[in-house]
Amino acid sequence: MSSWPSRRFARFISRGLLWFGVFSVLILSYVLYLPQSATRGAHPGLLDWAFGSWQALFAMALATWLLLRGPLAATPSFVQKAARLLMLFLTYAAFLYLLKWNPLWNSTGLKNRDMTEGLLILASTLVWIVASIRVLFRRPRVAGIVQNETHHARRKATQSSFTLKNIAIFFYFFTRR
């Protein structure tokens, strides 16, 4: 049985590794997919790079999820909804870019790529719309937190008082020698 500090340390390490992975993917994506401007003298911006590769989009969606699990967990519900909508959009955009990625289709060997790609785009768009509507019209979690706290208090009140300490005290004072 693991103790509380070791579980917390393991969670910290796993989140640290996820953050390391996110930053690694973002840096590699920036180096590999830095867009070249077609216009002479124009410099590509950060958005040109961010929306230029599916790897960067997936990494940004994972970073948003990590932020929702960490620093944004205590923010107001409208901030969390906005972050969730951003995460859904980034995942959706990354999936669409992945569908346009030629090495994916070369490895599958499908003969009718257009129909398959169209059906996958339609399905992913429907999933994105339903998930976005669900996030928008979702109730805040305050009611669930209050319910969990009252359930925890009830469970603690009905908890058995037979512990090793109580049994040892009972035998020490109430057994005759």
Listing DSSP states for 154-174 in one string gives HHHHT-----HHHHHHHHHHH
pLDDT at 142: 58
Distance CA(82)–CA(85), nearest Å, equals 5
pTM of the predicted model as reported, rounded to 2 decimal places:
0.64
The predicted model gives 54-60 an average pLDDT of: 87
Q: Residue 2 pLDDT > 60, yes or no?
A: no
Structural contact between residues 49 and 36, judged by C-beta atoms closer than 8 angstroms: no
Residue bearing tokens 């129909």: 115
- Percent share of the chain, pLDDT over 90: 21
pLDDT at 122: 94
Which token pair is 6? 């070791």
pLDDT at 3: 62
User: Cβ neighbours of residue 85 under 8 Å, at least 6 residues apart?
Assistant: 132, 135, 136
